[in-house]
Amino acid sequence: MKDNRPLIFHLSASKALAKEVSKLLNYPLGEAESYTFYDGEEMVKPISEVKDRDIILIQSTSYPQSKHLMEILIFVDSLKKNKSGKITLVTPYFGYARQDRQIHAKDPITASLAARLIESCGVDEIIFIDIHTKNTPSFFHIKTHNIEMTNTYKQLFLRVMEENNYKKDEVMVFSPDHGSESRGIALASSLGVTFGEIYKIRPKVDETRIKDIEGNPNGKVVFLIDDIVDTGSTILEAVDALKGMGAKAIYVGFTHAVLKENNYRELVHHDIDKIFFSNSIELSFPHEEAVCFSIASEIAKAIRGEIDG
Ligand code: R5P
């Protein structure tokens, strides 16, 4: 009997995650071939038969962002030429999402350019995880879906509260900058605890300075959440400031570990009680000092259409 289940593919990113999702959904993994020409040019194509098969392509556009994005464009173009069915792209981490608005004259809006490229090659639907801002989905004309992480963080932090016997009135959720305000508010309200916010400025692209803090962390257990950690400067500045104001414990959760190994080491050697981050990006270095949680079941639910967004 003909197998009509959708085929799941990954390219050079998100291999382990694609395998996990394929197992959870019981959809087969498709086979692809890829090589890089001597001059750096990429070639990717499906080996499995894709005609009339719905396709789920799982690939973060993480480092090296341009290679991973280009692989998606080439692969989807090849799927179309081979007459595949509906193509759903899952980008566990969507690179270029931070370039979503003009701050200075002549700034490019590269998130919008990435959206046009992805649409033009023939993707029918795209699923994001904890997208940086709502601007990025608005750049697309195809169906988009953003998997919010509130419930995942809620479960992780409820366990922390249970294990340490923390009462609600001694816990606060903080966002380390204005960009994560809505994430922080959603988490605080789902845990039934108070919310606090840090306002930061960036003197340089890889430097953070705190301008103001709303809320009093003195004597509190703080859950600090953000979408991305890159250099780690936003989180580390926030941790130091909250500790300086008397926070008695700090737990950090972030979705996208964009960070390099030296930034990771700096983070885990800081005065933080526990760090949680997702496997939206596959790290190439050991990271057992932190808790890396899987988003595979959230992706599977979104593919099955079981969560709104
Ligand atoms: C910014 O708006 C993001 O939400 C993160 O706070 C930022 O990308 C983190 O960057 P870094 O770790 O370099 O401070």
Q: What is the CATH number of the domain that holds 265?
A: 3.40.50.2020
Ordered alpha helix ranges (H), 85-232? 110-121, 135-138, 150-164, 181-191
Ligand 1, atom 8, lies closest to the CA of 228
| 3-state secondary structure (DSSP) of residue 268 | helix
User: Which candidate, 256, 255, 259, places its Cα nearest to that of 284?
Assistant: 259
Residue 288 lies in a domain: no
Peptide linkage before 203 cis (omega within 30 of 0): no
Ligand 1, atom 5, lies closest to the CA of 228
Q: Are residues 114 and 180 in the same domain?
A: no
Residue 290 lies in a domain: no
How many Å from the N-terminal Cα to the C-terminal Cα in the chain? 35
Radius of gyration of the chain (CA): 20
Is residue 200 annotated as a catalytic residue, yes or no? yes
Q: Given the CA of residue 229, which atom of ligand 1 is nearest to it?
A: 12
Q: Are residues 136 and 234 in the same domain?
A: no
Q: Given the CA of residue 176, which atom of ligand 1 is nearest to it?
A: 6
Residue 293 lies in a domain: no
Total residue length of the chain: 309
In angstroms, what is the span from residue 229 Cα to ligand 1's centroid? 5
Residue 173 lies in a domain: yes
8 Å CB contact between 277 and 290: yes
**Helix and strand numbers, DSSP H then E, in the chain:** 9, 14
Could you tell which of 200, 229, 256, 266 is best to mutate to test the pocket of ligand 1, judged by most ligand atoms within 8 Å of the CB?
229
| 3-state secondary structure (DSSP) of residue 264 | helix
Q: At what angle do helices 261-268 and 233-244 cross, to 10 degrees?
A: 10
8 Å CB contact between 38 and 113: no
Residues in the ligand 1 pocket, defined by CB under 6 Å: 177, 179-180, 206, 208, 226-234
Q: Are residues 139 and 157 in the same domain?
A: no
Phi, psi dihedrals of residue 128, rounded to the nearest 5°: -105, 160
In angstroms, what is the span from residue 237 Cα to ligand 1's centroid? 11
Query: Model's pTM, two decimal places?
Result: 0.95
How far apart are alpha carbons 92 and 60 in whole angstroms?
5
Q: Are residues 215 and 272 in the same domain?
A: yes
- Listed in sequence order, the residues at least 6 apart from 243 whose beta carbon sits closer than 8 Å to its beta carbon are 250, 271
8 Å CB contact between 128 and 91: yes
Structural domain including 104 reads 7-147+298-303
Q: Are residues 170 and 267 in the same domain?
A: yes
Annotated catalytic residue: which of 67, 81, 200, 301? 200
Give pLDDT, residue 309: 57
Residue 228 lies in a domain: yes
In angstroms, what is the span from residue 274 Cα to ligand 1's centroid? 19
In angstroms, what is the span from residue 227 Cα to ligand 1's centroid? 8
- Listed in sequence order, the residues at least 6 apart from 39 whose beta carbon sits closer than 8 Å to its beta carbon are none
In angstroms, what is the span from residue 175 Cα to ligand 1's centroid? 11
User: Which candidate, 177, 182, 272, 267, places its Cα nearest to that of 223?
Assistant: 272
Q: Is 47 left (phi over 0), alpha (psi -120 to 50) or beta?
A: alpha
Give pLDDT, residue 308: 62
8 Å CB contact between 239 and 224: yes
Q: Are residues 120 and 231 in the same domain?
A: no
**Two structure tokens written together for 281:** 């990006």
Could you tell which of 136, 234, 239 is best to mutate to test the pocket of ligand 1, judged by most ligand atoms within 8 Å of the CB?
234
CA atoms within 13 A on the CB side of 306: 8
Q: Are strands 194-201 and 209-214 parallel, antiparallel or unpaired?
A: antiparallel
Total count of domains within the chain: 2
Residue 292 lies in a domain: no
Q: Are residues 136 and 161 in the same domain?
A: no
Q: Are residues 198 and 140 in the same domain?
A: no
Q: What is the mean pLDDT of each run of 10 residues along the chain (309 residues)?
A: 92 97 98 96 97 98 97 98 98 97 94 98 98 96 97 98 98 96 98 96 83 96 98 96 97 97 97 98 97 98 83
Residue 285 lies in a domain: no
Give pLDDT, residue 3: 87
- Listed in sequence order, the residues at least 6 apart from 258 whose beta carbon sits closer than 8 Å to its beta carbon are 62, 63, 93, 228, 229, 230, 281
